């Protein structure tokens, strides 16, 4: 449960950062998404641990397909 709380907190911090940056840059949303957002999400994803085999199995059971 603590892991989920940590993940939710991390997500909230990232969302806050992105919102502030979007407001700061004052660019159209499509441009923001293809520039800053995309680069930042790549950075965030590089710090994430890949899901375990068990988690992948659980995701497949509910119909989630993950490529890569």
User: Is 68 among the domain residues?
Assistant: no
Given this model, what pLDDT does residue 13 score?
Answer: 96
In this predicted structure, the answer to whether residue 23 has a pLDDT above a threshold of 90 is: yes
Range of the domain at 29: 2-61
User: Is 66 among the domain residues?
Assistant: no
User: Is 26 among the domain residues?
Assistant: yes
Note the pTM of the prediction, 2 decimals.
Answer: 0.70
User: Is 67 among the domain residues?
Assistant: no
Average the pLDDT over 38-54 and give the result: 91
Average the pLDDT over 39-50 and give the result: 91
CB 32 within 8 A of CB 25: yes
User: Is 22 among the domain residues?
Assistant: yes
Least confidently predicted of 9-18, 27-36, 50-59 = 50-59
Which alpha helices (DSSP H) does the chain contain, by range? Answer: 2-25, 29-32, 38-46, 53-61
Tally of structural domains, the chain: 1
């Amino acid at each position: 449960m603590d892991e989920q709380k940590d993940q939710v907190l991390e997500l909230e911090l990232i969302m806050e950062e992105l919102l502030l940056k979007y407001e700061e840059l004052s660019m159209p949303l499509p441009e923001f998404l293809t520039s800053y957002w995309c680069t930042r999400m790549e950075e965030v994803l590089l710090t994430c641990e890949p899901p375990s085999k068990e988690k992948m199995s659980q995701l497949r059971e509910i119909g989630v397909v993950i490529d890569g």
